[in-house]
Chains A and B, each alone.
Chain A
């Protein structure tokens, strides 16, 4: 594999990481902790929204994030012929 290809592959990977980890940070540390009081003024059925993010929502988002990453990387591997 060419050096320039390696570099590009790595750069795209880092871009994915930055995006996904920002979401990871926002749903947990953001919605679940830093802005929990603000979100708690909004209600979703029996849940206060901030409380729901801290005890339910963040965990669902985490799981989805990993599966999105799996998909993105499988595609990227294919593009660079690294899926052996």
Chain B
């Protein structure tokens, strides 16, 4: 069958499935809307968390990023999985025991202050909006490349689907569609990886294959290192970032992962504390499958790509080369007019520019896999983008309807009224996200990575101190969060957006990049919070009682208002 037809077929089937699940599991109460009724099984929650977590960035961009940065790409692999250890050990069980609907709920109650709650709502909205815009863009990208519709039409189709199941189903609908989306995305990610691994190394397990031998009996990684040296790039397995920066970026991504509200909130949906721990274990297991395959794909794609294009005649390039050229994500400029493609590190000689986002999407075509595999990848990429978008939209809508309206502006709003408000804010959030998907501000790409820095600088210390110290008070927590997020924003605006006099790489403090600065801002948050709390009154006894109580797993009631 034609690739187009197959892709429409796969996308059609999966979308119908998502909508069917949404109708079957629509939410009837605020509790179902915010936390899926609180009775999700740990296995289902693990699957849903994995899909929630693995976004268009994980599915489409990550392997490409690693492919172009080699060892340096390890920051994403370790950073985006190591955070789950922190979540499982330091956050999830206690937050579940606390038993509320949202992260600002915890901050507001633990620090007995609506100022703290407002700061938390602000941080949650800031983090979630920067993140969701990237997802809608991902949806548009897949539609425009594989279904040859306009990128904006693609974004709108994606919006309608998300709108349907997020607004109708709330957390309950999202949870069960995410379970289905995980299955679609992991299948779509693994099938081409296995095919290519067999093709290149004879080993069906990609995780082993990329440490294996190629057809000439040379280790694949050695061959790639050699190719890199010949073309003037840094060796693939050693990278070029400083050790200090790699350390700080990895730490910021780990801590940021543990502080992301749309991930934390998933642990409110299970019945008891031990289920929250189990969900984190399942989630990381399911994430591990993709995250250990991605670096293998990166190596296969990189080797394949260099061998297919470098020093080859432009006229003899396969079809995929021209189709990707049409999207503008791949371009060739024959500088020395010899009709061949030179792909080297030196920018004055290099003739080929490749957007790293196309590596995963183009990989099956580069490896000449059958059409149905390519169509499957398109459906998988959409599943990854939609599942994350839905999770983020729910955080945004709960922040508005629950934390702002119910907890602060209109505390006596009826259950029905709050549910209506939640649906309305989800609707508005989808429209805003869609707008940013169609008119992406330049800073989206830059800020998605920084969303982690913001989460690390704001939520993580406040939550950890709230659980592990009884004496942390509202003055300390608020001062810490504000100091953390302001330093992070300052550094980000200075070095990413040229505010406050701007600055170059050489001007980075201690050589730490804006991506890694979240770690510094987090430390500042911790220090300020601890110092301020020493000079201000202890929290009231009943709050210290709450802290003692969340450390004991038994008697975790259902999540309540």
A binding-site residues for B, Cβ under 8 Å = 1, 6, 9-10, 13, 17, 20-21, 24, 28-29, 32-34, 36-37, 40, 44-48, 51-52, 54-56, 58-60, 62-63, 65-67, 69-70, 73-74, 77, 81-84
Contacts and interface: CB of A to CB of B under 8 A. Distances in A.
Interface of B: 66, 71, 73-74, 77-78, 81-82, 84-85, 88-90, 93, 207, 210-213, 219-222, 237-238, 243, 246-247, 250-251, 254, 272, 274, 277-278, 280-281, 284-285, 288, 291-292, 295, 548, 551-555
Contact of B295 (A9, A24, A56): A56
Nearest to B556: A84
B204 to A, nearest CB: 16
B77 A40 contact: no
Contacts of A55: 66, 71, 73-74, 77, 292, 295
B238 to A, nearest CB: 7
B281 A66 contact: yes
A10 B291 CA distance: 33
A7 to B, nearest CB: 10
B553 A46 contact: no
Contact of A51 (B71, B82, B278, B291): B71
Contacts of B284: 62-63, 66
Given A40-B238, A62-B284, A67-B281, A54 B85 contact: no
Contact of B77 (A20, A34, A59): A59
A9 B549 CA distance: 12
A29 B73 CA distance: 14
A6 B219 CA distance: 55
Contact of A29 (B211, B213, B221, B250): B250
B243 A33 contact: yes
B238 A46 contact: no
Contacts of A74: 274
A17 to B, nearest CB: 6
A1 B548 CA distance: 12
Contact of B221 (A1, A37, A47, A67): A47
A65 B85 CA distance: 7
A84 B73 CA distance: 43
Contacts of A77: 274, 553-554
Given A46-B220, A46-B222, A47-B211, A62 B250 contact: no
A52 B540 CA distance: 50
Given A33-B250, A51-B71, A82 B553 contact: yes
B84 A48 contact: no
B89 A45 contact: no
